[in-house]
Homo-oligomer: A and B are copies of this chain.
Amino acid sequence: MIAEKMKGLVANSSAIRAMFEEGNRLAGIYGAENVFDFSLGNPNVPAPEAVKKAIEDLVENEDPLVLHGYTNSNSGYADVREAVAKSLNERFGTAFEGKNIIMTVGAAGGLNVILKTIINAGDEVLTFAPYFGEYRAYVNNFDGVLVEVSPNTVDFQPKLDEFEKKITPKTKAVIVNTPNNPTGVVYSEETIKKMAAIMEAKQKEYGTEIFLISDEPYRELVYDGAEVPYLTKYYDNTIVGYSYSKSLSLPGERIGYLVIPDEVADSEDMLSAANVANRILGFVNAPTLQQKIVKACLNEKTDISYYDRNREALYNGLKECGFDCIKPEGAFYLFVKSPVENEKEFCEAGKKYNILMVPGSSFACPGYVRLAYCVSYETIVNSLPKFAELAKEYF
């Protein structure tokens, strides 16, 4: 009785559920502390204390009709949108106004809003493998076609020669995700400049507009002083999708925003259409209490040092075991080369040691596995002897 489009998605989802249940099953047998579940990208650093204070302050002092009411605009509270714009301008030297910001139900909501806004059936959306598997579903929601550029497994920067060849007159958008899930790689400024030049040239060649959608849930999670270029400064048709899920550890609260700068083609129409899309997709508006919370916490950040310690420990430990992996500059993932071609076999082998990893195939990059190190430091430390045993099967 379910829709045809849903059938494959449900089957695929069962695989993810199976992994989740496997984790629970192992925890039941061996105890949660002896299961090394690196499968989920769920922040384990609590929200900053300032979030709690903001909530307490808001329920005490804000009119409940404002705090919990419909926003006048589906794009969110004017004061929140202005505060977000101001904060971005201060950090990145941009010149956004409140009207350029649309508060959204997380980045996932924001991506669906912008795709609804611009995609006609059959339009192509390019992205670079490895990529967050949900992009395929999001593009499919609007009958777009996701076109992938194959992975560059040397350093996981995008393959720009292949990218250039795959842009066609039907290319409506390009989605980039930097810092990247699943590799943790930050696309360099050089990469961004070259990518922008290619897109500019293709726009001219085809007489089309090609939108660069920057999916940025990991922007604040960078290490070693890495800089994440702000993409609107490199390419006019850039739209940013942001989420506070990781930066404020609020993933369940579904709060983020879109930026549609004035430089974007037909930006006024785009803003109106995105406002309507936010409404008719059923989001209506981003949760109002959360809008006010993030306004109060714009200068807060999650505790990066916690993730950084995990990153160092896991990266170094895996290298010592003989595993091959580039050291990521951002997010909370390691993307490790599978010692055997079929990485699903490797994931199965890991389970013998109660180690749970996600196959790279889920990110269109077989031969690799993703480890999410947003776990306790103890989990990392305790997992390393197990990884050493696992490594002995291969090296």
Show the binding face of A for B, using Cβ within 8 Å: 1-6, 9-10, 13-14, 20, 40, 42-44, 46-47, 51-52, 55-56, 59, 63-65, 67-72, 105-106, 108-113, 116-120, 134, 137-138, 141-142, 209, 249-254, 265-266, 269-270, 272-273, 275-277, 279-290
| Contact for A68 among B69, B106, B249, B272, CB less than 8 A | B249
Q: Within the complex, what minimum Cβ distance (angstroms) separates A144 from chain B?
A: 10
| Contact for A108 among B9, B272, B282, CB less than 8 A | B282
Is the pair B111, A282 in contact by a Cβ cutoff of 8 Å?
yes
* Copies of this chain present: 2
| Contact for A71 among B5, B119, B252, CB less than 8 A | B252
Contacts A105-B254, A282-B283 known; 14 new A-B pairs at CB < 8 A: A3-B117, A9-B273, A13-B272, A13-B275, A40-B70, A42-B69, A43-B65, A47-B68, A68-B251, A108-B282, A141-B280, A252-B288, A254-B254, A254-B283
Chain B neighbourhood of A44, CB < 8 A = 65
Is the pair A2, B254 in contact by a Cβ cutoff of 8 Å?
no
- Interchain CA distance A56-B53 in the complex, whole Å: 10
10 residue pairs from A and B, CB less than 8 Å apart: A1-B118, A2-B273, A10-B273, A52-B59, A65-B249, A69-B252, A70-B252, A105-B282, A141-B280, A254-B283
Which label, helix, strand, loop or mixed, suits the secondary structure of the A interface? Answer: helix
Chain B neighbourhood of A141, CB < 8 A = 116, 280-281
Is the pair B106, A2 in contact by a Cβ cutoff of 8 Å?
no
| Contact for A3 among B106, B118, B284, CB less than 8 A | B118
CB closest chain-B residue, reference A46: B64
Is the pair A251, B116 in contact by a Cβ cutoff of 8 Å?
no
Chain B neighbourhood of A4, CB < 8 A = 120
| Contact for A2 among B9, B137, B249, B270, CB less than 8 A | B270
